[in-house]
Amino acid sequence: MTDVAVASPDSPVARPQRAAAADGAEPGVDVGKLRKEILAELIYSVGRTPETASTRDWFVATAFAVRDRIVDKWVKDHAGPQPQKRVYYLSLEFLIGRLLFDALNNLGLTEQVTEALSGLGVDIEKVRAAEPDAALGNGGLGRLAACFMDSMASIGVPAFGYGIRYDHGLFRQGMRDGWQQEYPEDWLSFGNPWEFAHPEIDYRIGFGGYVEQVMDGAGPRHVWRPAETVEAVAFDTPVAGWRGRHVNTLRLWSARAPDPISLDAFNRGDYVGALADRVRIESISKILYPSDETPAGQELRLRQEYFFASASLQDLIHRHLHEHGEVRRLSDHVAIQLNDTHPAIAVPELMRILIDIHGLPWGEAWDITVATFSYTNHTLLPEALESWPVPLMERLLPRHMQIIYMINALELEAARKRRPGDDELLSTISLIDENNGRRVRMGVLAFTGSHKVNGVSALHTDLMKKTVFRELHALHPDRIVNKTNGITFRRWLAQANPRLTATLIEAIGPGLLDDPNELEKLVPLAGDSALHDKLAEARRANKIDLARVIAERNDVWVDPDALFDVQIKRIHEYKRQLLNLLETVAIYNAMRAQPMRAWMPRVKIFAGKAAASYRQAKLTIKLANDIARTVNSDPTMRGLLKVVFLPNYNVSLAECIIPAADLSEQISTAGMEASGTGNMKLALNGALTIGTLDGANVEIREHVGDDNIFIFGLTAEEVEARKRRGFDARAAVEASPMLRQVLDSIRDGVFSPDDPTRYRDLVEGLLNHDTFLVTADFDAYFAAQRQVFKKWRDRSSWMRSSVINTAKVGWFSSDRTIGEYASEIWNVTPSVG
Ligand SMILES: *Cc1c(COP(=O)(O)O)cnc(C)c1O
């Protein structure tokens, strides 16, 4: 990669001037001084002159200058009195994106830095685009962690985020002939100006070996003698909250071999072998597992999980002992949140540390552990529930396996006392799954080791109580709570959509930047035609920007006045991109049959990555591209229908698409999307949702009201009932002539003349076992799309609904979510707001 921007949003399409009021303008920051600082960084830190500097050099120099200001506050925070209690957010994924405008916006420096750079002859939009996305996550779960980091710093929850500093984040998605290609991602290749390497902060992480029982004064004690040791080295990124009031730390661990080279092997002349151990050990932090909603299953993944869980626990206990002297009061000062089950091995790891190292008795150690941990569940899909083979655990983490067996024995005994004779209960709450070749159930481990367990939307939490954790919920009725997800408005409104933000500030004042609930002030203005005009103008400009990106990347020109119908998210069968494609084909067929009808211009926009091993998802991408090619080149369409699959969906592309979206597709099979956060980003930016009653869509509808959202399809209960009865897709297709025709045209190769049988199995599969009830919901979805058309033709009604969406989604701010975690799970008091 060079720093020559290839295509937007990596290249600077004309971005609007950011309204001065759109950030927390820090008074008295001298532009001349900033300019000098940036110049000094360029020369002394980057080693370039303005004459020889590339855009990337300017980015690095600017980032250093901005970072210095964050560090001043960071140092001040650390020098002052230490907080009573800290939160540790353990997550294997942080889907961060770019950080420059995050930092500028939160510090209120956007205007000044823009001006300082412009005085140096440098366009800040080019500098912005030179920053690579930090893509250390797959999708919603990792993005949630990133939004939470911003919110914790903004409302003043003292916190560390802990994760892995992957050398390679999520793969870059390319397209060859319409098929997804995966290319390695290289975000660190030019260094990372935001982070501080701390090679002196290192912890030893053991693997393998055996457990010894030794006798000391107090009785038998267990000592784990690992066969192998890896060092975890810290890399810190300061995270500045809104108006720079508080700065937290994201600490990511990198693996380092204790012995860089085996001199024995080297001296024998085995030069490659001399390095082999090092390569193997350091592979732990090499790459992010790119699968979403399915556990990766390999040994390296388990090594990653233990590596970062252990390093994080050692680190936070070290800090705790330094501040408080003894480990018994840990839960008074420490709250650890497990983001999904990926860090669940931390539960037996804390037990091991408390018992084997600090000599606590089992009962006391267990009470501390449960009081310290809490766990967020992200999925109910059975295939996504993480479990590890017992033999692998036993080989890699022998002491942890002993502890897991002990936890299990005590829990089962307690349950047996409460419900004598209920063997069914015992087998469902057991940490060991005996049905699939003995595996450790990480969900049960996380649940058992936590004082609170949360779902991520009201519906999801409700289903959790009824399905995966039904028996555990009956035994611990106070443990499960709901914390509906949220998004940070600073990134997803103020930074991503400066035009809309400026218009909103003009209408209701800048208070919305500090308090998202202020957006409600828009409600009385929802019918105001002058406001509609301004909003429409802002949106149109955003749509032109996106049209340029589409032209550059896909070589397709789309009409900015058409309805932009957007489905952007990981490609997954349960998210039902296929349902959207079937409707696209239905309309295409109808337009060809009746070319003279007054069709409404529409652009179908898709983006998303498929896991490399997920064949069905990759075929869906190919189908989208095949349909796009056919439709876009059909002269009878006269540009009235365009289909676009934008490659390489990531945070930056999301920031470019969302402000330009009119319609937000949230059409998962009801009961399968835990929450969704893309739905919130789009509604906030004024897109109307077409969606099922799934995840947070349910709550979005409660907030915006029935008239301002298009809900269709089976409910979660109806899906359950249909599945129980045994759903017959063939009957559903027989009952829908339109669907029949759509499936026939796909199966018969209308969109794949180069390989007419390409989609035969896909269509047959749908007819034989339509697991995600695509055919069941098709007619309802098609009808809902016609309602969309009807409303779109009534411009003022559409605009009114759009305003209401923006006005009513303030509740979905991640500041609200974090406030709830703080008071109901962590028992910490935020210092702001
Ligand atoms: C918000 C976001 C997601 C999550 O989208 P959903 O529609 O909730 O699945 C995934 N990837 C990126 C880059 C995002 O910004």
pLDDT band for position 833 (cuts 50, 70, 90): low
**Residue 59 pLDDT > 70:** yes
**Distances 464 to 403, 447, 672, 697 between C-alpha atoms, Å:** 26, 12, 11, 17
Domains detected in the chain = 31-484+819-826 (3.40.50.2000), 492-812 (3.40.50.2000)
Please indicate whether residue 448 is annotated as part of the active site: no
569 lines ligand 1 (CB under 6 A): yes
Tell me the pairing of strands 94-97 and 179-183: unpaired
Mean pLDDT of 178-189: 96
pLDDT one-digit tens code per residue, 508-566: 999 999 999 999 999 999 999 999 999 999 999 999 999 999 999 999 999 999 999 99
- Measured from the Cα of 655, ligand 1's closest atom is 15
651 lines ligand 1 (CB under 6 A): yes
Q: How far is the centre of ligand 1, averaged over its atoms, from the C-alpha of 747 (Å)?
A: 31
**Distances 536 to 525, 555, 662, 686, 799 between C-alpha atoms, Å:** 14, 26, 11, 10, 8
Q: How far is the centre of ligand 1, averaged over its atoms, from the C-alpha of 414 (Å)?
A: 41
- Return d(Cα 277, Cα 272) in angstroms, integer: 10
Overall size of the chain counted in residues = 833
pLDDT band for position 260 (cuts 50, 70, 90): confident
Q: Which residues contact 264 (CB under 8 A, 6 or more apart)?
A: none
484 lines ligand 1 (CB under 6 A): no
Q: How far is the centre of ligand 1, averaged over its atoms, from the C-alpha of 143 (Å)?
A: 7
CA nearest neighbour of 516 among 549, 491, 535, 537:
491
**Residue 245 pLDDT > 50:** yes
The answer to whether residues 503 and 525 touch, using CB atoms and an 8 Å cutoff, is no
Please indicate whether residue 378 is annotated as part of the active site: yes
pLDDT one-digit tens code per residue, 585-643: 999 999 999 988 989 999 999 999 999 999 999 999 999 999 999 999 999 998 899 99
Q: Which residues contact 267 (CB under 8 A, 6 or more apart)?
A: none
**Residue 3 pLDDT > 50:** no
Q: How far is the centre of ligand 1, averaged over its atoms, from the C-alpha of 505 (Å)?
A: 26
Please indicate whether residue 18 is annotated as part of the active site: no
- Return d(Cα 619, Cα 293) in angstroms, integer: 18
pLDDT one-digit tens code per residue, 282-322: 999 999 999 887 887 799 999 999 999 999 999 999 999 99
Q: Which of 341, 369, 669, 677 is catalytic?
A: 677
Bridge partners (DSSP) of residue 234 are: 198, 253
**Residue 823 pLDDT > 90:** yes
Q: Which of 441, 499, 570, 576 is catalytic?
A: 570
pLDDT band for position 9 (cuts 50, 70, 90): very low
Predicted pLDDT of residue 152: 98
**Residue 19 pLDDT > 70:** no
Predicted pLDDT of residue 27: 55
Predicted pLDDT of residue 648: 98
Residue nearest to atom 5 of ligand 1 (CA): 678
**Residue 5 pLDDT > 70:** no
For every residue of 85-123, DSSP letters joined together read -EEEEE-S-EEEE--HHHHHHHHT-HHHHHHHHHHTT--
Q: Which residues contact 72 (CB under 8 A, 6 or more apart)?
A: none
Please indicate whether residue 575 is annotated as part of the active site: yes
139 lines ligand 1 (CB under 6 A): yes
- Return d(Cα 401, Cα 388) in angstroms, integer: 11
Predicted pLDDT of residue 16: 46
- Return d(Cα 719, Cα 668) in angstroms, integer: 11
**Residue 232 pLDDT > 70:** yes
pLDDT band for position 254 (cuts 50, 70, 90): very high
Please indicate whether residue 67 is annotated as part of the active site: no
Q: Which of 18, 378, 439, 483 is catalytic?
A: 378
Mean pLDDT of 448-472: 97
- Measured from the Cα of 95, ligand 1's closest atom is 13
- Return d(Cα 93, Cα 100) in angstroms, integer: 20
Please indicate whether residue 570 is annotated as part of the active site: yes
Mean pLDDT of 128-156: 97
97 lines ligand 1 (CB under 6 A): no
Predicted pLDDT of residue 28: 65
Mean pLDDT of 82-89: 95
pLDDT band for position 381 (cuts 50, 70, 90): confident
pLDDT one-digit tens code per residue, 406-439: 999 999 999 999 988 888 889 899 999 998 889 9
Residue nearest to atom 15 of ligand 1 (CA): 651
For the chain, the distance separating the N- and C-terminal CA atoms, rounded to the nearest angstrom, is 43
Q: How far is the centre of ligand 1, averaged over its atoms, from the C-alpha of 410 (Å)?
A: 40
| Sign of torsion over alpha carbons 766, 770, 776, 781 | negative
Judge if the upstream peptide bond of residue 9 is cis by omega within 30 degrees of 0.
yes
654 lines ligand 1 (CB under 6 A): yes
Least confident of 323-332, 379-388, 648-657, 729-738: 379-388
Predicted pLDDT of residue 600: 92
695 lines ligand 1 (CB under 6 A): no
Residue nearest to atom 9 of ligand 1 (CA): 569
Least confident of 30-44, 59-73, 74-88, 574-588: 74-88
What values do phi and psi take at 222, rounded to 5? -100, 135
650 lines ligand 1 (CB under 6 A): yes
- Measured from the Cα of 568, ligand 1's closest atom is 7
Q: How far is the centre of ligand 1, averaged over its atoms, from the C-alpha of 677 (Å)?
A: 6
Residue 124 has which token pair? 């800040």
pLDDT one-digit tens code per residue, 338-374: 999 999 999 999 999 999 999 999 999 999 999 999 9
pLDDT band for position 580 (cuts 50, 70, 90): very high
pLDDT > 90 in the chain, percent: 87
Q: How far is the centre of ligand 1, averaged over its atoms, from the C-alpha of 609 (Å)?
A: 11
The answer to whether residues 108 and 24 touch, using CB atoms and an 8 Å cutoff, is yes
Least confident of 198-202, 693-697, 712-716: 198-202
Kindly calculate the radius of gyration of the chain based on its CA atoms and give it in whole angstroms.
27
CA nearest neighbour of 498 among 7, 114, 66, 96:
114
Q: How far is the centre of ligand 1, averaged over its atoms, from the C-alpha of 339 (Å)?
A: 16
Strand order in the sheet with 439-441: 387-389, 439-441, 432-433
Q: How far is the centre of ligand 1, averaged over its atoms, from the C-alpha of 778 (Å)?
A: 24
Residue nearest to atom 3 of ligand 1 (CA): 140
* 3-state percent helix, strand, coil for the chain, nearest multiple of 5: 50, 15, 30
Predicted pLDDT of residue 240: 95
Q: Which of 245, 439, 465, 575 is catalytic?
A: 575
**Residue 582 pLDDT > 80:** yes
**Distances 734 to 23, 738, 764, 778 between C-alpha atoms, Å:** 56, 10, 14, 12
Residue 575 has which token pair? 């998210």
- Return d(Cα 537, Cα 500) in angstroms, integer: 9
- Mutational test site, ligand 1, from 93, 94, 95, max ligand atoms within 8 Å of CB: 95
Q: Which of 569, 572, 609, 800 is catalytic?
A: 569
- Return d(Cα 583, Cα 777) in angstroms, integer: 11
Q: What is the mean pLDDT of the chain?
A: 94
147 lines ligand 1 (CB under 6 A): no
- Mutational test site, ligand 1, from 292, 568, 685, max ligand atoms within 8 Å of CB: 568
- Return d(Cα 484, Cα 165) in angstroms, integer: 28
Q: Is the pTM of this model over 0.85?
A: yes
Residue 158: Cβ within 10 Å count: 20
516 lines ligand 1 (CB under 6 A): no
